[in-house]
Structure 1
Amino acid sequence: MTVGSGLAIFAATAAAASELRFSGEATAIDSDRVIYEERYLVEGECSDGVFRPQAQTVTYVRDEDNQFAEKTLRYDESLLRPTVDFRQPDFNEVMQITNQDDDEMEIEWQTPEGGMESFSVDVTDSLVADAGFDHLVRQNWSAVTSGERVEFDFLAPTRGKAYGFVLEPADDDRIDAAYTVRIKPSGTILGFLVDPILLGYNEDGFLTDYLGLSNIRKNKDSNYTAHIRYTMESRPDCELTR
């Protein structure tokens, strides 16, 4: 093996080991009461100076280390449409979303009531699923930072459908961030039924705030609405966006 090839192998290995770690503290929307904590590990590589996630694990804990839910994501097919496995044992709920060759999203949902629901949704270029919204923001960073609107379709896995949404600049004193954006339905009827979600980002494209409906159940019939404040613990040796 030549010196040059050895350096290339070392560089590839170092890139594959790049990771991002951060945590989020979720508080009740109407108080400062802490509901739970989210702990993130995002593994990926630096490509052309930008971090490219490949896999992500989220651990949900209460009372410091009492884990009550977990989510894993893989970005093999698309950053906007990850394959997802989400489990909340307290409610016997399992949500699995599989990206099949970026052609269709297959959904298997074990409901809190004990039933099974299955759906299949065709993929389009504008379709976003689960944590893909965060990558949508970074892929449209120049538009976000210049105050432009971005239209997309968001997957509602419990309904087995995608709905039209818009990402737009927002001004809300509950979010203290370099950039604040709002995600809301683009249709009038759905707009009456679904509350907007507010997101905060710092100058580097890191998500600092999430304010809205969470994926954690309050009971069998509803999820928590929370303000989640994120803190970065370690970052890759490259940019999150450009």
Structure 2
Amino acid sequence: MRRTAVVIACSVVALSTTAAEVRFTGEATAPDDDRVIYAEHHLVEGECAAGLFRPGTQTVSYVRNGNSEFAEKKLTYDDSVLRPTVEFRQPDFNEAMNITNLDDSKLRIEWQTPSGDTENYTVEVTEALVADAGFDHLVREHWPAVTSGERVKFDFLAPTRGKAYGFVLEPAQDDRIKAAYTIRIKPSGTILSFLVDPILLGYNEQGLLTDYVGLTNIRKDRDTNYTAHIRYSVETVPDCELTR
């Protein structure tokens, strides 16, 4: 009888964790004339554990002129959903960016710049540190606070500078975004706020990103990146919750 109970308990644990994925596409348009610049195809593979989705890996394919891929990114969330390991390639400009999470104690940055130089940095990890697409998971980790209008402070990694800066998530209103929740990311420091424009995010009731308005990681030329409004459409969602 005891052995049977153990077997049943183990089966329940096994059944509580299942593979799951999120697929979505983003269309990036110019902020001034709604001209389509490029599209992003995202696949997030992970698992549903105890009713909550946890990402494992994410691949992003950047395409234009139909299906012509011009950049790619892979993120791995093994050590932290806020500080993924990132591999980004933009061959048109001979640019590559690698952010490696080292046991969630340090982030190692290797940046091959469009000019052909290589920059290397190491950043100490703190609980407040967020890197790359980790901002999206930060929003969901603080979903009750974000959806009730509270502000959330964090440090955002600027990989091309090899350091992190203070930022804040806060509720916002903007006519360009038609979503259940609109959130603004802006620098928390006065000086940086004059140099860095805020980013606007839209989310639906389930915690899925619907809009991104701001500076992107895609280059317009060797010296500047595109600023765009990216509108996301979801194709596949997991059979579990994204927020709690």
TM over 0.5: yes
Pairing of 1:13-92 with structure 2 (within 5 A)? 15=18, 17-92=19-94
2: CA distance, partners of 1:226 / 1:89: 20
Report the Cα offset of residue 47 of structure 1.
1.2
In the TM superposition, what are the counterparts of 1:113-132 in structure 2 within 5 Å? 113-132=115-134
Amino acid at match of 2:60: V
Cα distance per residue 1:169-215 (max 9 Å; x no partner): 00111111000000000001000000000000000000000000000
Residue of 151, 176, 201 corresponding to 1:174 = 176
Q: Does 1:228 align with 2:227?
A: no
What are structure 2's unaligned runs of at least 5 residues?
A: none
Q: Report the residue type matching 2:111 in the other structure.
A: W
Q: Distance in 2 between matches of 1:197 and 1:23?
A: 19
RMSD value, Cα? 1.5
Give secondary structure in 1 for the equivalent of 2:96: strand
Q: In structure 2, how many angstroms separate the alpha carbons of the residues matched to 1:232 and 1:75?
A: 21
Q: Distance in 1 between matches of 2:66 and 2:241?
A: 31
The corresponding residue for 2:148 is: 146
Superposed displacement of residue 63, structure 1: 1.2
Cα drift, residue 10 of structure 1: 6.9
Separation (CA, whole Å) in 2 of partners of 1:142 and 1:68:
38
How far apart are the structure 2 equivalents of 1:101 and 1:191? 32
Provide the TM-score with structure 1 as the length reference.
0.95
Unmatched 5+ residue regions in structure 1?
A: none
How far did 1:9 drift? 8.8
Aligned residue identity for 1:138: R
Sequence identity percentage: 71
Structure 1 segments of 4+ aligned residues over 4 angstroms from their partners: 2-10
| Count of aligned positions | 239
The CA distance in 2 between the partners of 1:57 and 1:34, in whole Å, is 21
Q: Distance in 1 between matches of 2:36 and 2:51?
A: 37
Q: Which among 15, 25, 35 is matched to residue 11 of structure 1?
A: 15
Q: For residue 25 of structure 2, what is the amino acid of its counterpart?
A: S
Q: Which of 118, 135, 139 is 1:137 aligned to?
A: 139
Alignment partners' CA distance in 1, 2:52 and 2:177: 26
